[in-house]
Amino acid sequence: MSLEKVKTVRFPFGFRLAFVVSLSLSLGFAVKAGKASSAEYVTGKVTSGQSSPVSSVWVMVYDGPQIAGQTLTGDDGRYYIGGLNSKTYTAVVRRQQSGGNLVSSTITLPQNRVYNIRLP
């Protein structure tokens, strides 16, 4: 976080000097033992049965009924979802955000950080 403030100093005879006081703060957060951190991620590639990359499909990670993260695959079939915790999730691949599941499986982080998905 940065804070900036313009400070004006007056000298005799009406002479003014303006300068910027800049303060930068680095905020660090300690994570207590036993608490999950949001430093985990899952990444990989979605391919078809012929090992061809599948672009523009949704990869969604669920924590129970809640979506913990989601993204579309790129032209190369690759995806990345960050901001996850060390725990077990359900990974789902869909053609559309609200469409039917193409593939659904359980992943556990950090063991499954790289998770390649082959569509039937």
What is the domain partition of the chain in residue ranges?
A: 40-118
pTM over cut 0.75: no
- Classify residue 70 as exposed, middle or buried by CB count within 10 Å of its CB (0-12, 13-18, 19+): middle
pLDDT of residue 19: 42
Please give the pLDDT value at position 98: 66
As a whole number of angstroms, the distance between CA 25 and CA 39 comes to 22
The pLDDT profile of the chain, 120 residues, written as one tens digit per residue, is 444 444 444 545 544 444 444 333 333 333 333 444 568 999 999 998 888 999 999 999 999 999 999 999 999 999 999 999 999 999 999 887 666 778 899 999 999 999 999 988
The predicted pLDDT at position 97 comes to 67
- 26: buried, middle or exposed (CB in 10 Å: 19+, 13-18, 0-12)? exposed
**CATH superfamily placement of domain 40-118:** Immunoglobulins (2.60.40.10)
106 C-beta neighbours (distance < 10 Å), count: 9
